[in-house]
Amino acid sequence: MIAPMQRRSVPLLLLALSLPTVILADGQRINQEGRILGAVPVVTTPTLFNTAAADTVTSAMQIMPLDNPWNEDVSALPLLSNSAAMIAQIEADLAAKGSNRQNLRLFSEMNFVLVPDGQATQPVQFFNYPDESDLNGGTSPYGLYPIPSNLPVETWPVGTGSLTLSQWQQDSTNQGGDRHSITVQPGAGYLWETWETKLVGTAWRASNGAQFNLNSDTLRPAGWTSGDAAGLPMFPALVRYDECQRGMVEHAMRLVVAHSRLGPIYPATHAASVGNSTDPNTPAMGQRLRLNAGFAIPANYTTQEKAVLLALKKYGALVADNGGFFSISITPDDRYGSSLDHILNSVPISSFEVVQSTGPTAGPRSPGAPTADAGPDLTVLLGTPAQLQGATTNATTVTWSQYSGSAPVTFGNAAQAATTASFTVPGTYTLMLSAADGVHAVAHSAVVVRVVFTPTVAPSGSDEITSFPTNAGHHYRVEWSNDLITWSTVADNLAGTGVTMSVTHTGGYTATRHFYRVSVLD
């Protein structure tokens, strides 16, 4: 807030500010977890998944729409009537494959690379399923995919020993395997996935290729496979390093079981049943499991481990492939270290349950989703409540919450869209309005409230004394300027005491022009 004052015809301007400031664009981007997304950095060069640069990009992406099955909150969905029998069948199928297979495993498998919108395409020969591959302008059996020279292939680098990326791309030791690859184009919003991927000389080959729109719920054609046996995308399901570090995986995961039955269920498009089983107690591709809400996550688990298990309770996991273990896929990121080790052999299959999945036009994809509008950004004086002008539609539950800010906020009625917010400390606050109906994705909207205070300035001989209220636990900076462009510090990192503080600017009153500002630093 700017308050002009005159003293002996010397212009004086007082500013009461708070750092840092938060700016939300009109087109707010808030994901399914209620996390405000910043602008997605422009990818200018192919960027590998296990880098801080990739973390910055993926953390700002909305990966698939809010109502997409990967982003669906299934914590309140009812169980299938044969949930217990299906879990028992999963256990029995794995027991038949060997010992020590009755617990959840985390497999370091799928990696990815982020590429620019202008990444040059390379021909890829699809040698197994060209008729179920997206060619992207190529001529069968060749597709044109934006593959960079540093395309990582499944399990690199943590599962490939001393092999270089180039050697692993060529499978120089003839290890074979699924060899999935994932290329992500954040700017254009597309995803390309292949399997049995190999660089032969200078030419790429793969069994199959699938292209997905990251901004659409559109599925692959019925009966088509993808990098996953279920015809699903893999990238939206991967447990990534950046989200584990934040403390919450924000989506469902891809789940592998021993056997699956015929007939995929939404959102899967492809079945891969060994023996063409129709047993209703055998899970289908696309079957949704979740970790039982009653599973006690040990307090000594790491932030990363809690991030995975909390997500399995909220978003669950979709059956996507057949294999030898009950497993989910995490990126083979060498930065994890031992941060996920507790989960190994500590979460039994019996702690999971099977829910009644929602269809393509049901649940969050049905008509009538709630909306929320937190209203315009506000600036208020300390001690004056902010009049929040929120509005919602189709909601059975309305909630205001504090997203960020210098100190706790008190809402007049946090269950009403139009209410007040009171503050005890100046600063910049982001408040979140959420509207839910228990069926659709929660609608979120945010408002920024800047709480300012009015300092006073008085001359004392040739000096100028700035006085302002403070709060214990916060720190302040006083600056002056003669042109509002270049600022000089009068006093810095002053600890608040809960009472008014006065700061003397020696010789300040002798300046022809002098402007002051006070900033709250934390």
Residues 227, 237: Cα–Cα separation, whole Å = 12
Same domain, 242 and 271: yes
Same domain, 196 and 242: no
What local confidence, expressed as pLDDT, does residue 520 receive? 85
What string of DSSP letters covers 170-187?
Answer: TTTT---S---EEEEETT
Residues 225, 230: Cα–Cα separation, whole Å = 6
Residue 49 lies in a domain: no
Same domain, 102 and 138: no
Same domain, 126 and 200: yes
User: Tell me, what CATH number does 12's domain have?
Assistant: 2.60.40
Q: Which domain holds residue 434?
A: 365-451
Residue 30 lies in a domain: no
Boundary residue ending a domain (356, 373, 407): 356
Do 120 and 149 contact (CB within 8 A), yes or no?
A: no
Same domain, 175 and 264: no
Residues 83, 286: Cα–Cα separation, whole Å = 15
pTM of the complete model beyond 0.85: yes
Boundary residue ending a domain (225, 252, 283): 225
What local confidence, expressed as pLDDT, does residue 24 receive? 56
Phi/psi for 505 (5° steps) reads -100, 100
Model pLDDT for residues 278-290, shown as the tens digit of each residue: 999 999 999 999 9
Which of 166, 182, 284 is closest to 227 using CA atoms?
A: 182
Q: How many separate domains does the chain show?
A: 4
Same domain, 248 and 318: yes
Boundary residue ending a domain (312, 327, 356): 356
User: Tell me, what CATH number does 414's domain have?
Assistant: 2.60.40.10
Do 233 and 270 contact (CB within 8 A), yes or no?
A: no
Residue 41 lies in a domain: no
Same domain, 186 and 270: no
Same domain, 384 and 461: no
Residues 322, 178: Cα–Cα separation, whole Å = 12
What local confidence, expressed as pLDDT, does residue 406 receive? 85
Identify the residue whose tokens are 């991030």.
Answer: 307
Q: How far apart are the first and last CA of the chain?
A: 18
* 3 state SS for 447-483: EEEEEECCCEEEEECCEEEEEECCCCCCEEEEEEECC
Q: For residues 198, 203, 208 and 210, what is the CA-based torsion angle, rounded to 10 degrees?
A: 110
Model pLDDT for residues 263-306, shown as the tens digit of each residue: 999 999 999 988 889 999 999 999 999 999 999 999 999 999 99
Identify the residue whose tokens are 């990966």.
Answer: 63
Same domain, 215 and 188: yes
Same domain, 406 and 488: no
Same domain, 275 and 323: yes
Do 151 and 166 contact (CB within 8 A), yes or no?
A: no
Mean pLDDT by 10 residues, the chain (522 residues): 35 48 65 97 98 98 98 98 98 95 96 98 98 98 98 97 97 96 98 98 97 98 96 98 98 98 96 90 98 96 97 98 97 96 91 97 97 96 95 98 95 98 93 98 97 88 92 91 92 94 94 86 83
What local confidence, expressed as pLDDT, does residue 26 receive? 56
Same domain, 140 and 207: yes
Do 197 and 204 contact (CB within 8 A), yes or no?
A: yes
